[in-house]
């Protein structure tokens, strides 16, 4: 039997990452609580604003969610009137997704509380540490992405979207091509 102590457990990377996720979700819910939207729902709403007309499988791949969770969350958002599903123009088996006007309004309402949640989360760090922290998290998730049960397939889904959509790519990257984290 290992000689690990409870203190050792508290300093295991997996334990700290799980705890950090709990804290991040808690801060988000504290800021957005009255709106009744989860972090996963927020991610889907934001994605559908950026990529209207994508399908459920692409949503799952772009957010690193399993298909059944994605389906359940989309059903809740549809029942709440925030998301609409339509039969695909090129493939009638495919259902495309888009924000409804109510979904757009909800996303507008979430903008400031989500910004506050992010600011609170990053307030534990000095400005230079914020960038370093987020860069290290990005490196970690890139390194181990393919080892997960539901890898984030943002690049492949983005390529598929770009090939199917006449809309211009809406990159949030800076002039150097890197995402801006420290705001």
Tally of domains in the chain: 1
In a domain, 168, yes or no: no
- CATH number at 57 reads 1.10.10.10
Residue 97: CB partners within 8 Å, gap ≥ 6?
48, 52, 53, 54, 55, 56, 59, 74, 83, 84, 85
pLDDT confidence of residue 151: 86
- Write the pLDDT tens digit of every residue in 55-111: 999 999 999 999 999 999 999 999 999 999 987 677 777 789 999 999 999 999 999
In a domain, 116, yes or no: yes
Residue 124 pLDDT exceeds 90: yes
Domain range enclosing 46:
6-157
Share of the chain above pLDDT 70, in %: 82
Max intra-chain CA distance, the chain: 61
Residue 21: CB partners within 8 Å, gap ≥ 6?
none
In a domain, 169, yes or no: no
- Write the pLDDT tens digit of every residue in 100-109: 999 999 999 9
Residue 168 pLDDT exceeds 80: no
Share of the chain above pLDDT 90, in %: 69
């Amino acid at each position: 039997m290992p000689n690990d102590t409870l203190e050792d457990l508290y300093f295991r990377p997996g334990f700290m990452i799980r705890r950090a996720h709990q804290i991040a979700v808690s801060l988000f819910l504290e800021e957005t609580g009255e709106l009744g939207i989860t972090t996963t729902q927020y991610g889907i709403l934001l994605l559908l604003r950026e990529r209207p007309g994508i399908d459920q499988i692409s949503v799952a791949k772009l957010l690193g969610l399993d298909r059944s969770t994605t389906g359940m969350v989309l059903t809740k958002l549809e029942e709440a009137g925030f998301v609409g599903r339509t039969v695909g123009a090129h493939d009638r088996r495919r259902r495309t997704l888009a924000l409804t006007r109510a979904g757009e309004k909800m996303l507008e309402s979430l903008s400031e509380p989500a910004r506050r949640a992010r600011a609170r989360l990053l307030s534990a760090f000095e400005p230079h540490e914020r960038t370093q922290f987020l860069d290290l998290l990005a490196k970690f998730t890139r390194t181990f992405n393919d080892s997960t049960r539901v890898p984030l397939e943002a690049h492949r889904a983005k390529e598929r979207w770009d090939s199917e959509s006449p809309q211009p790519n809406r990159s949030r990257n800076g002039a150097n091509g890197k995402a801006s984290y420290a705001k």
